Structure 1
Amino acid sequence: MPFLHKIAGVVLLGALILGLTLPGQRPRRAGTVAHAGAASQAARPAPAASPQQVPATTRAPSTPAAPSVRPSATPPAPVRAATPQAVAVRANELGEIPVLMYHRIMKRPVLSLDRSTGELRAELTRLAREGYVPITAAELVSGRIDVPAGRHPVVLTFDDSSPGHFGLDARGQVEPDTAVAILEDVARRNPGFRATATFYVNDDLFGMGERAAEGLKWLIGHGYEIANHTVHHLDLSRMSQGGVRKEIGGMEDKIFRLTGRHTATFAYPYGAIPARRAWAQRDGGRYGFQGVFLAGWKPSESPFDKGFDRWAVTRIRSEGKIKENDCRRFCSTAWLDRLDENPGERYTSDGDPGTVSFPRAGLGRLGGRFRDLARTY
């Protein structure tokens, strides 16, 4: 072999060895996450949205991801002190939230679940005077609770989309003596009392017929939530997976066709739970809820409480202290009396939707993913 060829071979061999040993950036494997640290951040409540954004989206909402878990070797970050304002109003954002359940609203009630227009007005007026501010069911389950400091959230839910809930006259004005008309009037008379509610609707949408799309869009445009209550209001506990999904999906299809939006929450007819809760929570891209509501008998836990179950949110029947269904203890009048007598048990806002303020003694009840937002006193 000529001498120059030998030298070239030695140089080539040396370059190959150096290329294998010198440090350098390895190519990224397919599927590697570029910013893995971002996934480990504790979940935060979504920022407060405008009323038009809350009830629905243009596609089926995704199921919220499970909160990240801190490594056991890492000590939890110290909880910061509450603001002077939170202390002054005795904020407790781990307190209970009443979710009131209404059915037909009529001038003269006929059935046991009916409420008169006078009874509805009186109850809403009481809520306003006792410092409650209505929020939607979607805002509750997502933690988007934006009410003034010292005030208390309440969720008003109306089941079955009956004509007494809402209607529009020939001029497009809200029909008088409907639930919406009464709620709007109470809000006008009580500044700070927000005119909003969640309507769990069935196939016959407020008896509006061909004007149903107009009615739903009016409600959404004015900050109300349209939510799913199945097509025919059947007992889902007696139905197969296919039957459950047909009832829920059929109603979802209709709402989407009329509004261009999917719903965010669902309520079981009769409070009857199907054999598997997952059937009612999601069905591919057809529907996917953020929370599911029961018929109920007690206030809901705070969404920041580790005991809160977004798939089984409890409600309270609107009724006075009557014997039926043990309403002397478990219907709205009794519960509002109890919370008024025990103000430390109800949710009281610190005025800042980006923090969760409460007495230090409640720290053990806080959901772990909200620790970074916690403020105690």
Structure 2
Amino acid sequence: MQISAPLTRIIGIANIVVVTVAVIGLSLLPGEKRPHAEARAMVKVQGSVEPPSPSPAGEPPGVVATPDFARQVHANEAGLVPVLMYHRILAKRLASIDRTPDQLRKELEALAKQGYVPITAREFAAGDIRVPAGKFPVVLTFDDGHPSHFALDASGNPKPDTAVGIIQEVARKYPSFRPVATFWINREPFGLVDQDAQAAAVKWLVDHGYEVANHTWRHPNLRALGKKKVREQIVRIERLLKKLGAPPSTTMALPYGSIPRPKKLARTGSWDGTRYDFAGVFLAGAEPSLSPYAKKFDRGAIQRIQSNGKKGECRKWCSQYWLEWLNKHPGERYVSDGDPERISIPEKLRGNIVAKRGLQVIAY
């Protein structure tokens, strides 16, 4: 996106505002290289934007993108992607960063109606964006592993007004809305203390395509810690995730969006014999993220957007504002060509992307 100079200067201030709001909200809490998946059979589509026969669950219909096809669907895989940031989902909001079940449901349904398809942070950071042609990726992220994010009822199904329950509900109502999200957890995922219960929760999520990954052990401000303490906070969660049966994290979210010193500590390092190496580190956010193919995409500081309405500090920096902005500026938004093996862009944007992923670039 070509952001105006005044907006660029304000972004830094906006990040600080978002972090400050997060600190206030979290203070109310009780107590405490896989660029692409395996190749799949693809059907070449010529002269039509209608998808071919259905693909396996979670996969878009297979196509081989061509310049003509990319032009028909207005593909722009150098465009902006909304990475939405959620915290607690509460019937009664206690902090400005909280959302109610109805607010979450309404936002997700709006995304589904507008043509957005969820992918995980892991998939986004890897550039493994498998979204049907003409549709838009969106990344749903939930910080802190709060009990309101995930819990099972007596029948073994997600409770209705939890984040996962709502995502599954919206996906049933809108079949094109893929039911996946990323949950970045701390030391007591989803408020569970018993390790067997933690493992059961993680297993359910991973088995259903959700990502469970690293948000540090105690949610500290990493910028205020020494190097060894930063590495310890990250590694301890990696060890917990391994015990619980989750795959190694390829993404992490910075508590409060606070970047440690030096910055590279957030992406790669080791402590007590255990290494970590993330494909993407996510901020607290203030704007949509650049495409992972963009030359200026920074894997160590990926932008997110706080989910919220257009009030107070969110008049220009939260989800309602930015989703409306993207709808009004469709040429700035990431639009999929439906082909994960190719990057399709308008000719004028050819110089904005990195083509070092072994993928064919189609410029039309």
Judge same fold: TM > 0.5, yes or no.
yes
Any unmatched runs of 5+ in structure 1? 1-42, 53-80
Change (3 A) 1:274 1:230: same
User: C-alpha distance in 1, partners of 2:246/2:298?
Assistant: 29
User: C-alpha distance in 1, partners of 2:154/2:256?
Assistant: 34
Once the two structures are superposed, the pairs formed by residues 117-156 of structure 1 within 5 Å of their partners are 117-156=101-140
Asked if structure 2 preserves the Cα contact closer than 8 Å seen for 1:48 and 1:145, the reply is no
What is the SS of the residue equivalent to 1:253?
helix
Asked if structure 2 preserves the Cα contact closer than 8 Å seen for 1:355 and 1:375, the reply is yes
User: C-alpha distance in 1, partners of 2:231/2:34?
Assistant: 31
For the pair 1:45 / 2:29, whether they are aligned, the reply is: no
Measure how far apart 1:170 and its partner are: 3.2
Measure how far apart 1:204 and its partner are: 1.5
User: 1:299 is aligned with what amino acid?
Assistant: P
Per the alignment, residue 356 of structure 1 pairs with: 343
RMSD over aligned CA atoms reads 2.1
User: 1:291 is aligned with what amino acid?
Assistant: G
Once the two structures are superposed, the pairs formed by residues 185-334 of structure 1 within 5 Å of their partners are 185-210=169-194, 211-259=197-245, 261-284=247-270, 285-323=274-312, 325=313, 327-334=314-321
Measure how far apart 1:227 and its partner are: 1.0
Change (3 A) 1:44 1:213: closer
Asked if structure 1 preserves the Cα contact closer than 8 Å seen for 2:343 and 2:359, the reply is no
Per the alignment, residue 89 of structure 1 pairs with: 73
User: C-alpha distance in 2, partners of 1:49/1:147?
Assistant: 15
Measure how far apart 1:310 and its partner are: 1.1
Change (3 A) 1:189 1:260: closer
User: C-alpha distance in 1, partners of 2:153/2:172?
Assistant: 21
Post-superposition Cα deviations, 1:137-194, rounded to whole Å, max 9, x if no partner, equal 0111111001000000000000000011001123322112000000000011001110
Change (3 A) 1:173 1:47: closer
Per the alignment, residue 375 of structure 1 pairs with: 362
Asked if structure 2 preserves the Cα contact closer than 8 Å seen for 1:167 and 1:208, the reply is no
User: 1:257 is aligned with what amino acid?
Assistant: K
What is the SS of the residue equivalent to 1:182?
helix
Q: Determine which structure has more spread, i.e. the larger CA radius of gyration.
A: 1
What is the SS of the residue equivalent to 1:115?
coil
What is the SS of the residue equivalent to 1:105?
coil
Per the alignment, residue 7 of structure 1 pairs with: none
Asked if structure 1 preserves the Cα contact closer than 8 Å seen for 2:266 and 2:300, the reply is no
- Percent identity, aligned pairs only, is 48
For the pair 1:160 / 2:150, whether they are aligned, the reply is: no
User: C-alpha distance in 1, partners of 2:261/2:268?
Assistant: 14
Per the alignment, residue 334 of structure 2 pairs with: 347
Per the alignment, residue 325 of structure 2 pairs with: 338
Asked if structure 1 preserves the Cα contact closer than 8 Å seen for 2:342 and 2:362, the reply is yes
Any unmatched runs of 5+ in structure 2? 1-32, 41-55, 58-64
Asked if structure 1 preserves the Cα contact closer than 8 Å seen for 2:81 and 2:290, the reply is yes
User: C-alpha distance in 2, partners of 1:218/1:265?
Assistant: 19
User: 2:108 is aligned with what amino acid?
Assistant: L
User: 1:110 is aligned with what amino acid?
Assistant: L
| Matched positions, count | 306
Post-superposition Cα deviations, 1:34-87, rounded to whole Å, max 9, x if no partner, equal xxxxxxxxx9932368999xxxxxxxxxxxxxxxxxxxxxxxxxxxx9432211
Measure how far apart 1:209 and its partner are: 2.6
User: C-alpha distance in 1, partners of 2:171/2:70?
Assistant: 25
User: C-alpha distance in 2, partners of 1:49/1:244?
Assistant: 38
Change (3 A) 1:177 1:48: farther
Asked if structure 2 preserves the Cα contact closer than 8 Å seen for 1:48 and 1:353, the reply is no
User: C-alpha distance in 2, partners of 1:339/1:290?
Assistant: 26
User: C-alpha distance in 2, partners of 1:247/1:113?
Assistant: 24
Task: Normalising by structure 1, report the TM-score.
Answer: 0.78
Change (3 A) 1:332 1:49: farther
Measure how far apart 1:370 and its partner are: 4.9
Measure how far apart 1:95 and its partner are: 0.3
Task: Normalising by structure 2, report the TM-score.
Answer: 0.80
Per the alignment, residue 21 of structure 2 pairs with: none
